[in-house]
Amino acid sequence: MAKIYELKAEQQDLLDKLFWIPEGDEEEVSIQRELDKIQGTIERKLEFLSSVLLEATAIKNAKVDAVRKMQIGIKTAENAENRLKAFILETMSDFEIKKVFGSMCNVTLCAGRESLDYAEDFDPVLLPNDCYNIKTEIKPIADVIKEHINNGEEIPGVSIIKKPYLLVK
């Protein structure tokens, strides 16, 4: 079974031959039939490859769905963990219990690390200059750029192209 690139090369060879054959010649008809066969073979191969693509896409989508469900499960477990941790911490603090010794685990109420608590009306602009970083990011806006180009404006380094894509159903 020939590969697509081999069929393409064979097709090109036949087209080159066809160029030099006078119109209506018997060999022209033979070459045309051979070109039709090659075209059909290529189309069948492309149909097969597209069916493989569909299968690969279905597998990917199933895995993406499984990951999404797993992420939801992880979030649910994290939420339960955080709520239970907060409840235990609050209860131990309320009753001033420093340690709990048990058969399954030991729990110790530790002094926390220092962290900052920002008030609702906190304004970072009022901080001293050495207390913040300014991050700027230039992100092109594709629709606006296309509009400029379509209106005849030249934008260096940018052009509108049409990329072919597949639609497999």
What ranges do the domains of the chain cover? Answer: 4-110
Element (H, E) at 101: strand 99-101
Q: Confirm if 92 and 110 have CB atoms less than 8 A apart.
A: no
Q: Which of 37-41, 54-58, 108-112, 150-154 shows the lowest mean pLDDT across its residues? A: 108-112
Backbone angles phi, psi at 108, to 5 degrees: -125, 130
Residue 6 and residue 38: Cα distance in Å, rounded? 10
Q: How confident is the model at residue 167 (pLDDT cuts 50, 70, 90)?
A: low
The share of the chain scoring above pLDDT 70, in percent, equals 96
Place of tokens 């913040």: 132
**CA trace torsion 51, 54, 56, 59 (10° rounding):** -130
Q: How confident is the model at residue 78 (pLDDT cuts 50, 70, 90)?
A: very high
User: Burial code of 27-38, b = ≥16 C-beta within 10 A, e = fewer?
Assistant: eeeebeeeeeeb
Give the global pTM.
0.53
Asked whether the predicted pLDDT for residue 49 surpasses 90, the reply is: yes
